[in-house]
Amino acid sequence: MCGIAGGTRFSSYKALDSKTLFKMLDSIRYRGPDECGIYETNEVLLGSVRLSIIDIKSGQQPLSNQSGDIWIAYNGEVFNYIELRQELIKKGYSFKTNSDTEVIVLLYEEYGVEFLKKLNGQFAISIWDKRKKELFLARDRMGIRPLFYTLHNKELFYASEIKAFLQHPDIELKLSAKSLSQIFTFWTTISPDTAFEDVYQLPPGSYMIYSQNKFEIKSYWELEFASENQYKDISFKEAVEEFAYILKDSVKKRLRADVPVAAYLSGGLDSTVTTSLIREVAPKMLQTFSIGFEDNDYDESYYQNLASEYFDTKHTGFKIKNEEIAELFPKVIWHSEMPLLRTSPVPMYALSRKVHEKNIKVVITGEGADELLGGYNIFKEAKIRHFWAREPKSNLRPLLLKKLYPYIPQIQNASAQTLRFFFGYKLAETNSPVYSHLLRWNNGNHIKKYFSNDIIHDLNGYKPVDDLVDKINGEFSNYDYLGKAQWLEMNIFMSGYLLSSQGDRMGMANSIEGRYPFLDHRLIEFCSKINPEYKLHGLNEKYLMKKMAEHKIPNEILKRSKQAYRAPIQISFLTKKASGYINKIFDEKKLEDNGLFNPDLSKKLWEKFKIGEKTSEMDNMALTAIVSTTILKDLFQNKKEQTSISDISTCRIINDM
């Protein structure tokens, strides 16, 4: 795993020089603390900071093909590189390293852009093709690894993280009002937008070609679900067997490394299943890590310890304190590069830090299973709301929603009328392509009421949901209710938030690479074509995987109710570790100068928290949004974060001018 950065200088050497590129790389050095390398020509610079995992001795980047006319710097892992290497050897290619990096550059030489379809992995790739004088950028299918770019004076600059652009003297970052509206609706932006104006992400499953005469972005893979009644012709038993086969092979491939590999163990079904498969494939590698909370409402330590004892793993578990969540929150914003509506990424940062302290570089984790197999309550809500909408006046049908939230007393004690109020938003609009998410996305309006008049003016009535609907693929309308909901969850929330703010950014902040067996594209394509009842059976989520896991994991975990991963907000922000910087954020002059939020409404919200008045989930999200956005602006737009710059002599520079 690495961090990459680079750019073109077709018009002028001043567009980007090696010293500036080194500063860009050094600002994300934690992504690759082991080595630094730069390739420089008259037209382009490619740079890499490397976290050595495969072929530690000879896998340095940037790296070229044998003739030296194709150069690569890339971030990620290609898990089927061994098989692809053999394919290339049969075609007459020879290798100077044992790295997956060299496999990629030779695949590009042999197949051109079509090589991307052969890769099973998680990656962000930059290639300079001297023959064509073209810069080629590509990103993995689900966007596990980030890749950002910006254009300035017809030159293109790219990097693994946006903060690298702060080191370029001509680039200024400014928060986008449109993007803030998207984030407060979807928890993330609609690709290719980012939180900042004129800074974009290369969309997942896409590649870019940039030269003096060409700028094109094309998709090489898209998430597609089977149309209704056109599901894969396979019995449930056969589906269980095929799912198990692909998942086990996915785990096996993701254990390939020249360094120790560990696993996260959350105490839920997904991580327990991956741990059970690691035990089957490589029992000596069973080292697990987990994090709990001092607040019992959020803590899953009991189940984590249960799984660890069952599999006899070498386990490291610890609990994060509320004051630590508050203390780490600004650092997490620096790494997430996006406003947050929850504190949930903070424990993930603390967990990866603990892994780093144990000298581990790679962890297997269970993200993606909920999205693939209907594991979230939002999928069940959609199913119930569709059923309820057929008889909207029914007093019995809304009561089904109580089954989804046994841990929330307000819902368990609610009447049908109260449930109608909470869950009946746009109930009849079942023909909406985004019906499953309308209720969740409407919550954003409760946060946006805190926007300043300037932001409201800049938005000029902009509606993120309408914008998204306009961009949805035409085939989307043929998906069943679950396929539509899964498409939205995977393309927006998972790719833009879960794999970024809670995934790549929190792991790489501590030089930890996360690997995701459930996000093997073979498994995604399989699950997207099977009958939805195999995934969400009635209201029984992840039905397929539960059947696969019978007698392989602790029964208590197999049959436990789904517990959403959350972290405390109110109690954390009221600790002494937070009160100092949060009081400054809600200072009236600070709010006015910041220009993002309404000072009066924002101060009233903070006072409500301070005096101990009862707060809602929406209040918690609004407070987190105001705090995180203000910190983000200070760090990136006002440039209050100072980064230490190492000596450029520590970086290997290949001059090809």
Task: Give per-residue pLDDT as tens, 147-158.
Answer: 999 999 899 999
Name the domain boundary from 509, 535, 558.
Answer: 558
How many whole angstroms separate alpha carbon 179 and alpha carbon 165? Answer: 18
How many whole angstroms separate alpha carbon 160 and alpha carbon 75? Answer: 8
Start-to-end C-alpha separation, the chain: 28
* pLDDT tens-digit series, residues 11-36: 877 889 999 999 999 999 999 999 99
Nearest to 18 by CA among 32, 5, 35, 34: 5
| Domain identity same for 183 and 246 | no
Q: Is the pLDDT of residue 244 over 80?
A: yes
How many whole angstroms separate alpha carbon 648 and alpha carbon 624? Answer: 38
| Domain identity same for 272 and 173 | no
Band (pLDDT 50/70/90 cuts) for residue 390 is very high
pLDDT at position 459: 97
Helix count and strand count (H, E) for the chain: 28, 18
Q: What is the mean pLDDT of residues 622-651?
A: 85
Band (pLDDT 50/70/90 cuts) for residue 230 is very high
Band (pLDDT 50/70/90 cuts) for residue 59 is confident
The answer to whether position 464 is within a domain reads: no
- Percent of the chain topping pLDDT 70: 99
The answer to whether position 398 is within a domain reads: no
| Domain identity same for 49 and 126 | yes
The answer to whether position 613 is within a domain reads: no
Residue 521 maps to which CATH number? 3.40.50.620
Band (pLDDT 50/70/90 cuts) for residue 640 is low
The answer to whether position 82 is within a domain reads: yes
Tell me the pairing of strands 63-64 and 44-50.
Answer: unpaired
The answer to whether position 390 is within a domain reads: no
How many whole angstroms separate alpha carbon 509 and alpha carbon 32? Answer: 10
| Domain identity same for 293 and 332 | yes
How many whole angstroms separate alpha carbon 151 and alpha carbon 174? Answer: 14
The answer to whether position 380 is within a domain reads: no
Q: Are 226 and 232 in contact (CB under 8 A)?
A: yes
| Domain identity same for 244 and 215 | no
Q: Which structure tokens are listed for 4?
A: 């990459």
Q: Is the pTM of this model over 0.85?
A: yes
Q: Is the pLDDT of residue 107 over 80?
A: yes
| Domain identity same for 241 and 193 | no
Name the domain boundary from 167, 192, 224.
Answer: 224
Residue 59 maps to which CATH number? 3.60.20.10
3-class secondary structure for 370-407? HHHCCCCHHHHHHHHHHHHHCCCCCCCHHHHHHHHCCC
584-596: burial string, b at 16+ Cβ within 10 Å, e else: ebbeeeebeebeb
| Domain identity same for 240 and 363 | yes
| Domain identity same for 117 and 188 | yes
| Residue ranges making up the domain that contains 360 | 236-372+498-558
Most confident of 100-104, 412-416, 475-479: 100-104
Q: Are 557 and 307 in contact (CB under 8 A)?
A: yes
Is there a catalytic annotation at residue 36? Answer: no
Q: Is the pLDDT of residue 350 over 70?
A: yes
| Domain identity same for 300 and 346 | yes
| Domain identity same for 190 and 252 | no
Q: Count the residues in the chain.
A: 657
| Domain identity same for 258 and 303 | yes
Set 2, 36, 527, 651: catalytic member: 2
pLDDT at position 231: 96
Q: Helical H runs in 451-499?
A: 453-459, 464-471, 481-488
The answer to whether position 22 is within a domain reads: yes
Among 226-230, 282-286, 498-502, name the one with the lowest average pLDDT: 282-286
Q: Is the pLDDT of residue 206 over 60?
A: yes
Among 225-234, 491-500, 635-644, name the one with the lowest average pLDDT: 635-644
Q: Are 554 and 307 in contact (CB under 8 A)?
A: yes
> Which of helix, strand or coil describes residue 110?
helix
Band (pLDDT 50/70/90 cuts) for residue 643 is low
Among 475-479, 626-630, 652-656, name the one with the lowest average pLDDT: 475-479
pLDDT at position 647: 78
Q: Is the pLDDT of residue 166 over 80?
A: yes
Mean pLDDT over the full length of the chain: 94
Left, alpha or beta for 35 (phi > 0: left; psi -120 to 50: alpha)? Answer: beta
Q: What is the mean pLDDT of residues 195-214?
A: 97
| Strand segments (E) across 165-265 | 200-201, 206-210, 215-219, 261-264
The answer to whether position 451 is within a domain reads: no
Q: What is the mean pLDDT of residues 58-87?
A: 95
Band (pLDDT 50/70/90 cuts) for residue 649 is confident
Name the domain boundary from 224, 258, 279.
Answer: 224
Q: How many domains does the chain have?
A: 2
Among 175-179, 241-245, 259-263, name the one with the lowest average pLDDT: 259-263
| Domain identity same for 277 and 167 | no
pLDDT at position 641: 59
Band (pLDDT 50/70/90 cuts) for residue 407 is confident
pLDDT at position 642: 54
Q: What is the mean pLDDT of residues 366-382?
A: 96
Question: Counting Cβ atoms within 10 Å, is residue 216 exposed (0-12), middle (13-18) or buried (19+)?
Answer: exposed
